[in-house]
Chain A
Amino acid sequence: MAHILAIHSFRGGTGKSNLTANLAASLALKGKRVAVFDTDLASPGVHVLFGFSPAAGQSTLNDHLQGEAPIVDCAHDVTPEQVKQAHGRIWLVPASMDSNRIARLLREGYQVEKLNDALFALSEKLNLDVVLIDTHPGINEETLLSTAITDCLLMVMRPDTQDYLGTAVAIEVAERLDVPAIRMVVNKLPEHFDQEQVRERVASSYDVPIGALLPLSDDLLTLASGGLAVLTYPTHPWSERVRALADNLLDTVL
Chain B
Amino acid sequence: MVSVDLDSLPSGPLSMTALVSLEPAPLRRLLKSGLRRGMASSDLASLLADDWQCSLDSPEAQALLAALQERGWLGRDGDLWKTKLG
> What residues make up the interface of A, taking CB atoms closer than 8 Å to B?
1, 4, 111-113, 116, 120, 141, 144-145, 148-149, 173, 176-178
Contacts and interface: CB of A to CB of B under 8 A. Distances in A.
Contact of A149 (B17, B20, B35, B84): B35
Give the size range of B's interface with the partner: 10 to 19
B16 A145 contact: yes
A148 B15 contact: no
Contacts of A120: 36-37
A111 B17 CA distance: 14
Nearest to A1: B37
B74 to A, nearest CB: 12
A148 B31 CA distance: 10
B17 A148 contact: no
A155 to B, nearest CB: 16
A205 to B, nearest CB: 21
B29 interface: yes
Interface of B: 15-17, 19-20, 25, 28-29, 32, 35-37, 84-85
Contacts of B32: 148, 177-178
Given A116-B85, A149-B35, A177-B28, 12 more contacts: A4-B36, A112-B85, A113-B84, A116-B35, A120-B36, A141-B17, A144-B17, A144-B20, A145-B85, A148-B35, A173-B20, A178-B28
A148 B36 CA distance: 9
A176 B85 contact: no
B28 A141 contact: no
A111 B20 contact: no
12 contacts: A1-B37, A113-B84, A116-B85, A141-B16, A145-B85, A148-B19, A148-B35, A173-B20, A176-B25, A177-B28, A178-B25, A178-B29
A120 B28 CA distance: 21
A113 B29 contact: no
Contacts of A111: 85
Name the residue among B19, B29, B84 with the largest chain A CB count within 10 angstroms.
B19
Contact of B36 (A112, A116, A173, A177): A116
